[in-house]
């Protein structure tokens, strides 16, 4: 009954009510600009997540924002984009599997040419006009985008090298892609096995039924082999944001920035 009533309350009203309800001084969500008492717990410590010490997965006490549902990962990526001051620049952005609050914020920046997409675009229709995009065959010309945001996608793609090639192809020289994935802190080499096919096996081996690998420390090299110049951004050292502790980011997580070099 409550659910059916909530369905008819406009998004904006629900958003404001939640901002008031969770108002507090302890934490801050930079994605939805809410001062809140706490974040909500989320994630799950499945055996592979613990065994391989996977950063970017697993249970966290301070995980998602009760107002906008952004997780600590989204807050970190948005912090990076905020630091770039994209609000002041005109550029073209491709956002794959768009995180809701980031997409809502970018959609409001009218100076941007902003495209969102996914293999199942209907899942995102309540907040963006997503189009159907398979990242191993991106339906855009070479060098179309200044920025690509494609977080926690590559670990789902059987031919991730082809996807990386495609992302590189549609990126403009001097552009960059944010390509976050869950990464094991202890695996030197990415763990993958095409023989592992069923959802049960993938859950058991990779910690999620639709993951096809666990990336190891060689993830950055795999991106570099595609042609990217890879940078690792540490928000705790490099951010100019004054109250970073209030964002409850994961202290072990970094932003992976894959740049396409300028043509010589």
Residues contributing to the site for Zn ion (CB under 5 A)? 29, 31-32, 65, 67-68, 70
Quote the tokens at residue 139. Answer: 């339906």
User: In whole angstroms, how close is the CB of 107 to Zn ion at the nearest point?
Assistant: 16
- CB of 10 or CB of 194, closer to Zn ion: 10
Beta bridge partners of 232: 256
Q: How far is the CB of 179 from Zn ion (least distance, A)?
A: 23
CB of 38 to Zn ion, least distance (A): 12
How far is it, in rounded angstroms, from Cα 161 to Cα 147? 19
Q: Which is nearer to Zn ion, 166 or 253 (CB)?
A: 253
Nearer to Zn ion, 29 or 106 (CB): 29
Q: How far is the CB of 70 from Zn ion (least distance, A)?
A: 5
Q: How far is the CB of 215 from Zn ion (least distance, A)?
A: 27
In DSSP terms, which residues pair with 231 in a beta bridge? 257
CB burial readout 73-100, b (16+ within 10 A) else e: bbbbbbbbbbeeebeeeebbbbbbbbbb
**By the 8 A CB rule, do 213 and 190 touch?**
yes
Cβ 153 vs Cβ 138: under 8 Å? no
CA distance 31 to 249: 12
Nearest to 247 by CA among 62, 83, 82, 111: 62
Provide the minimum distance between the beta carbon of 250 and Zn ion in the complex, in angstroms, as a whole number: 16
Closest CB to Zn ion among 65 and 106?
65
12 vs 263, which CB is nearer to Zn ion? Answer: 12
Of 73 and 202, CB closest to Zn ion = 73
Report the distance separating Cα 258 and Cα 232, nearest Å.
9
What is the signed CA dihedral for 258, 153, 197, 43, rounded to 10 degrees?
120
């Amino acid at each position: 009954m409550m659910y059916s009533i909530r369905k008819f309350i406009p998004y904006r009203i629900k958003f404001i009510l939640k901002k008031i309800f969770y108002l507090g001084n302890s934490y801050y969500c930079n994605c939805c600009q809410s001062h809140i008492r706490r974040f909500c717990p989320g994630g799950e410590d499945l055996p592979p997540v613990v065994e391989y010490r996977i950063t970017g997965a697993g249970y966290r006490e301070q995980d998602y924002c009760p107002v906008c549902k952004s997780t600590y990962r989204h807050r970190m990526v948005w912090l990076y984009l905020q630091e770039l001051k994209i609000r002041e620049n005109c550029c073209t952005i491709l956002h794959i599997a768009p995180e809701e609050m980031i997409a809502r914020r970018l959609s409001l920046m009218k100076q941007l040419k902003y495209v969102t997409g996914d293999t199942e675009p209907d899942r995102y229709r309540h907040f963006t006009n997503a189009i159907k995009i398979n990242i191993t065959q991106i339906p855009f010309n070479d060098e179309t985008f200044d920025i690509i945001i494609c977080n926690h996608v590559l670990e789902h793609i059987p031919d991730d090298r082809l996807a990386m090639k495609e992302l590189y192809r549609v990126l403009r020289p001097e552009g960059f892609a944010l390509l976050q994935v869950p990464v094991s802190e202890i695996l030197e080499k990415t763990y993958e096995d095409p023989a592992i096919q069923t959802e049960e096996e993938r859950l058991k081996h990779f910690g999620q039924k639709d993951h096809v690998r666990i990336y190891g420390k060689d993830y950055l090299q795999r991106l570099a082999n595609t042609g990217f110049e890879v940078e690792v951004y540490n928000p705790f050292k490099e951010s100019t944001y004054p109250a970073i502790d209030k964002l409850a980011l994961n202290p072990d997580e970094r932003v992976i920035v894959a740049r396409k070099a300028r043509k010589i």
